[in-house]
Amino acid sequence: MNILLFSARRLSLFISSLVVSSGIVFALLRLLPGDLAQAKLGIQATPESLAILRHEMGLDRSLLSQYLDWLIHALHGDLGVSILSGADITAEIAQKATVTIPLVIMASIIAVLISIPLGMYAALRYRNFDGVATSGISQLGIAVPIFWSGILIATVFAVLWPLLPAGGFPEIGWSEPGNAFKSMILPVFTLALGQGAVLMRFARSATIDTLQQDYFRTARATGLSRFQALRIHGVRNAMIPVISVLGMQMATLIVEAIIVENVFALPGIGQMLLQDVNNRDLLKVQGIIAVTTSIVFLVSFIVDLVLGLLDPRVRQK
């Protein structure tokens, strides 16, 4: 398939996914017993004031027209205002994203950097004790809930051996770069270890696969050592599944970031989301979920494009 046609198809898939998923979230959040006006005015509101507010907020129109209205505003970068505080939702998300996005990106990079060499090592030595032990550690890493590894990491590096802060983030954010960076180290590693354990399994099985390929045997026959041949053929072959799994894992990674932010009291999108859920600030919850799912679809769109460019076989499907 032609690259342009392939990209156009993926782009239309990406856009339609955004519209459909935000529609589902919208519908789910409108299933609420009671409604937004009730949530805003409280249970003591008079029917008249409720009716006026419903009209002001457009709640008396059909769900579809309300959704289209929200969608058009959202596409212009306007997610509305919080029901409780009246604050602009887009601005708040943008501000909190300065914590969450660096967290997710740094953790992804470190996860890839840990998982590929370790996965390849476990594959090379898969008949030996150390190889089995390495993949055993990744099994264990997958079974550990992310909040527990966060608590343990905080216990070791902040409580028993006070090197880094156990949580929190400078009030003025990245304007205090040293302290901001310090508060990110433990959360980033917590997230990276959990993700790295998952990615390592894929790097390992891709490498085991490479070891059995004819081109690998040919490379060995030309006199390269196992290690040299693997450096040429193995790294790229291990990268492909790791990158595509990382793309598929994006949704999970964001959820884990939400949890890690709560473990380390980082004032990011995740912590805000949970507060809004507890306050039933539905419009804000809707905005945050719309943004996070857009990121998930955007990443999988980019990963698809990159894999399609790298590997012509992907385009055929």
Partner 1 sequence: MRKLFKGNISLIAGLSMISFTFFLLILSYIWTPFDPLEVNPDDSFAGVSATHILGADNFGRDILSQIIVGSRVTLLVAALSVTIAMSLGVSMGLAIAVAKRAYQSPMIYAVNIALAFPAALLAIILAAVYGASTLTAVSAIGIATAAAVAQVTRRTAAGILSSDFVLAAHASGASTWWIVRKHVMPNLRASLLIQASAAVSISVLAESSLSYLGLGTPPPAPSWGRMLAGSQQYLFVNPLLAIWPGIVIVIVVLGFNLLGDGVREAFDPTLRRSET
Q: Which residues bind to partner 1, rule: CB under 8 A?
A: 13, 17, 20-21, 24-25, 28-29, 31-33, 139-140, 142-148, 151-152, 154-155, 159-160, 166, 248, 251-252, 254-255, 258-259, 262-263, 273-274, 276-278, 280, 282, 285, 289, 292-293, 296-297
Nearest distance, CB of residue 196 and partner 1, angstroms = 16
Rank residues 167 and 173 by Cβ distance to partner 1 and give the closer one.
167
Rank residues 46 and 278 by Cβ distance to partner 1 and give the closer one.
278
Nearest distance, CB of residue 175 and partner 1, angstroms = 29
Rank residues 208 and 235 by Cβ distance to partner 1 and give the closer one.
208
Nearest distance, CB of residue 172 and partner 1, angstroms = 26
Rank residues 114 and 146 by Cβ distance to partner 1 and give the closer one.
146
Nearest distance, CB of residue 219 and partner 1, angstroms = 21
Tokens of 228: 């040299």
Nearest distance, CB of residue 223 and partner 1, angstroms = 26
Rank residues 136 and 177 by Cβ distance to partner 1 and give the closer one.
136
Burial of 144 (0-12, 13-18, 19+ CB in 10 A): middle
Rank residues 41 and 248 by Cβ distance to partner 1 and give the closer one.
248
Nearest distance, CB of residue 52 and partner 1, angstroms = 24
Residue linked to tokens 């390495």: 134
The amino acid at residue 141 is: G
